[in-house]
Structure formats: C-alpha cells, structure tokens
Amino acid sequence: MKMNELAAALGCSIVLPPGQTADIDIAGVQGLEHAGPGYLTFLSNPKYAPKLRQTQASAVLSTKPVEGIATLISANPYHDYARALEFYYQPPRPASVIHPTAAIAPTAKIGENASIGAFVSIGDNVVIGRNAVLHPHTVIYPGAVIGDDFTAHSHSVVREFCRIGNRVLLQNNVVVGGDGFGFAKRADNTHHKIVQSGVTVIEDDVEIQSLTSVDRASMGETRVKRGAKLDSLVQIGHNCVVGEDNIICAQTGLAGSSVLEKDVLLAGQVGVSGHLTIHEGATIYAQSGIGGDVPAKARLSGSPAFEASDWLRAITAFQKLPEILRDVRELKKAAQKDHA
C-alpha cells in the first residue's frame, strides 16, 4: 500500500520530513528494532523513543511528529498498529465445505457457509450458526448451541449443552465445559465424584487461547462474559464468572465460584482461591495470590497480595533483610556489652 492510502485507511494524518512524499510504498509493519526501508513501525510507549534514532523504517505511527521520519499521527498508535497489520496479513480461511471424514449427527443444525474440517465430530442436537470454521479434530458434544462466526482450531472441545455466542474464537486444545473438580469425601476417606450438572456459557467476542479449560458448573453455570480474553494455560473453575473485557494472562487459575467484575486484569500465574469477588477495574500483578475480595480499581501484588505500591517498598526491603539482620545482631551485642 502507498503510505497515503494506509494513513487514509487508518484515519491518520501525515507529517513528512523535508523532501519526502506520501506516495511511497509501505510493504508491511515491523517493530522499531527490525523495521527496514519501506516498512511502517510504531511508538506507543515514550520510553522506547530513543530507539527511533536507530530505526530504518520509512514511517512511524506516533501521537506526535517525530523528527526525520514520516509520521502517521494517531491517537492510539498501538491500536492502529494492530489495525495496520490486518491489511498485510489475513489468516487463511478454509473453503466452505464439509470434509467427507467429518462425523455430523443427523439432528445437528449447521448454518450456511460453514467450513468443517477432517475428522470433526458434531453430536446430536447441536446448533451452530453461520460462517463457522471448525478445523480438523474439533469435537462438539451433543446439545451444544453456538452462534455465528465461530472458529475452533484443531483439538478444541465444546462439551454437552454448553452455549457459545457470536464471534468466539477457540485456539488449539481449548476445553469448554469439562467437568469441574468436585468430590465429596466418604466416611472411609475415599472420594465420591460430584456430578457436574451445570453448563459453561461463553458470551460474544470472547477469545480463548491454547490449552485453556473453562469448567462446567456443578449446578447452574460457569460464565465468561462479552469481550473477555483468556490466555494459554488458564484454568477457570466451576461456577466462576469472568467479567466483560477481562484480560487473564497465562498460567492463571481461578478456583470455583470466583467472580470477576468488568475490566479486571490478571497478569501471569495469578492464583485466586475461590468464593470471592474481584471488583471492577482491579489489576492483579504476576504471581500474586488472592485470598479475599478485591476492591474496585485496586492494584495488588505479592502472595498473599496487598497494595502494589506497598509491595514494591516491601520487596525492596526484603532484599536487604540479611544486612538488616546483621546490623540488628551487632546492635544487640553492643547493647548487651554496654549493659554488662
């Protein structure tokens, strides 16, 4: 695309250095360190501004003009970078055909323009909307109901009676509606499995990354609300609620009946103990342990987690504990000597 065409498509104005025109070719989008001539890069974090002095890119997305390089002025450079990528790469969509090896129950209802790959299994009374893409080895259990524009990558599974909205994307090996982890102890200390009689509900515009499990409820439902994004290797326990536009990063685990309100961010390896509420807009930093309710817009870190700014001071002091302990011992010896 020409630079001026790309800017128009993104809704950006252009500020040019002397002698440069806006009709040069832009072959793609790359990061600051790797972008060469003919490529667009972006500056979304001011701390990386010094790297612009070394970039070979022909243009940059930025909130303000950058000296010596064509600048596409953007209110949100990171978002426009993501939009620009879509002009240069679109994931291939399989043809709208049903592979002869797919096993589809006669009672299943599949909308128009579906692509059903090799060895897909679709059970009785399943309903799937329009424009579905089911890659090879996807399994949809009986009674599942799925909306329009659904994409399931290979080896993803939607279990019985679960409900999925529109424009939902499941990456490889996702399990929606696997049994929750529920057992009752018998008198002899052996374990009796509790039937997980509820369902999992995934609302519109949710994306779930590879190897993540969203368990079905023991009773009622587990629900992932509109626009939530779940990273790889995330565990959502039974009867949890994941709120609208939540971001849950890799290796995070929610024990049963955790409730996350809107706009919650859980960074990597956060552990949530269950039967608690993380209120709207809270941010929980990596490797934190949450054992109780979290107030709205709180920023917590550590295990057990507490206010992130206090945690930063505490972790700085923690590294000095051996030195502090040595000083205390010396003071104690000096005090004992003076007392003697």
Instruction: Give yes or no for a cis peptide into 304 (omega within 30° of 0).
Output: yes
Place of tokens 């552990």: 271
Catalytic residue among 99, 238, 275, 279: 238
Distance of alpha carbon 96 from alpha carbon 73, whole angstroms: 40
- Distance CA(81)–CA(74), nearest Å, equals 10
Tell me the three state secondary structure of residue 272. strand
Beta carbons within 8 Å of 14's beta carbon, 6+ residues apart: 3, 4, 7, 22, 70, 71, 72, 73
Paired residues of 2 in beta bridges: 25
The answer to whether the beta carbons of residues 240 and 220 sit under 8 Å apart is no
Exposure b/e, 162-173, CB count within 10 A at least 16 = b? bbbbbbbbbbbb
Strand-pair category, 39-42 with 109-110: unpaired
Query: Would residue 99 show up in a list of annotated catalytic residues for this protein?
Result: no
What would the two tokens of residue 235 be? 């565990």
Active-site residues, by number, are 238
